[in-house]
Structure 1
Amino acid sequence: MFKSFLVVSYECIMAIIFSLPRYSFFIFLKKSILRMMGAKVGKGVVIYPGVWITPGRNLIIENNVDLAKDVLIMTSGGVYIGKRTLIGYRTQILSANHTIPPLGEPFPISGDSYAPVCIEDDVWVGANCVITAGVTIGKGAVVAAGSVVTKDVLANSIVGGVPARIIKMRN
């Protein structure tokens, strides 16, 4: 009972703090809380309202990263976001997953498969994307809005679709 109360209290506090507007003081507060949770957060990081990062540890955000409104980052398996990267509105970065058990066995209650997500420098991830566990997005890549990234993305490529595929290379 008490543990449930603590979990709910923590989630309420996080929801309030991460819904605050993107004024300098509130961004400082959000970054400070992430650091207390074990994350490494660089300079010039902008965190819009509604960003949800859980559990917070195993997260590295380099300098000058922009996390747009309502981004979800699940850090259980580790997440790295490189310099000068833009993460679009309502994007989900997931470093945990469920395995599909054999018939007759129950599904795990929470993710039981973990793999790091690496988003290298100078990447633009459009709005409403899903980036799955174990994916690396190469330097200078662009991920089109609405894409589901299930495999590694080459540096300087433009990908899109469900699942994401190369559209063309940047020049």
Structure 2
Amino acid sequence: MSGNYSYARRIWFDGVLYVCNHLIAHFPSHFLRKVFYRSVMQFEIGAGSFIFMGAKFDARRGFSLGSHSVINDRCRLDNRGGLEIGSNVSISSEVCILTADHDPRSSSFAGRNRAVRIDDRVFVGTRATILPGVTVGKGAFVAAGALVTKNVAPFAIVAGSPARVIGTRPTDLSYQIHYDRLFA
């Protein structure tokens, strides 16, 4: 009986993830997507935050988005190891954030999960990639196409592959992101 129960659970969880990524993610109503993400996927989504169409997730739970943050279209958000995004964060189109990989030194190629944290008022440019275990500090700016392999200091501007510090942002950031679109 337990084998059937495990198989049924897997069908349920894989089915929910399929519905999330292939149906709900493309539904042109942000309100309905947010209801699904909060209730079925059990994501924590703050007030005034917006997830555009086409976002792909890898697990139920393990995802937190602060208030007044935006995740633009077609982002890959691997939340298996835990993904926490702060408030007033802008994640540009086609960004890839990974929290799971395999240990290349393991004889069994063992999988490993490492949480990613993106602090408040961070900007992540189009097609940037953030690897497992990284923390992006408050107010940091990740340039388009950057490959972030290590922690980013607060207010640092990073670019390149691998990402390197190329400057700093002001420390008195006070903006509030506001997206209010019916269909996106």
Separation in 1 of the partners of 2:133 and 2:109?
21
1:120 aligns to what?
A: 119
Query: 1:72, 1:146 → 2: CA distance?
Result: 14
Q: Which residue of 2 aligns with 1:28?
A: 31
Q: Secondary structure at the match of 2:26?
A: coil
What is the distance in 1 between the residues matched to 2:66 and 2:130? 18
RMSD of Structure 2 on Structure 1 (CA): 1.9
Q: Unaligned regions of 5+ residues in structure 2, if any? A: 171-184
Is the counterpart of residue 64 in structure 1 residue 71 in structure 2?
Answer: no
Change (3 A) 1:78 1:144: same
**1:10 Cα offset (Å):** 3.4
Task: Confirm whether residue 40 of structure 1 aligns to residue 44 of structure 2.
Answer: yes
CA change 1:39–1:5 in 2 (3 A) is closer
In 2, Cα distance between the equivalents of 1:87 and 1:48?
Answer: 10
Give 1:1-20 correspondences, 5 Å limit. Answer: 6=12, 9-14=15-20, 15-20=22-27
Match of 1:18, SS state, is helix
Describe the SS at the equivalent of 1:89.
Answer: coil
User: Residues 96, 32 of structure 1: CA spacing in aligned structure 2 closer, same or farther, 3 A cutoff?
Assistant: same
Using the TM superposition, give the Cα deviation of residue 106 of structure 1 relative to its aligned residue in structure 2, in angstroms: 5.2
Alignment partner for residue 89 of structure 1, among 93, 97, 106? Answer: 93
Deviation at 1:8, TM superposition (A): 6.1
- What is the TM-score with the length of structure 1 in the denominator? 0.86
Looking at structure 1, the residues matched to 83 and 93 of structure 2 have their Cα atoms a distance apart, in angstroms, of 18
Q: TM-score, length-normalised on structure 2?
A: 0.80
Paired positions, count: 162
Alignment partners' CA distance in 1, 2:150 and 2:11: 39
CA distance in 1, matches of 2:77, 2:17: 15
* Aligned-partner Cα distance in 2 for 1:56–1:88: 22
The one-letter amino acid paired with 1:31 is: K
Question: Matches of 1:100 and 1:151 in 2, distance apart?
Answer: 18
Are the equivalent residues in 1 in contact too, given 2:68–2:87 (CA < 8 A)?
yes
Q: Unpaired runs of 5+ in structure 1? A: none
Tell which deviates more after alignment, 150-159 or 35-44. Answer: 35-44
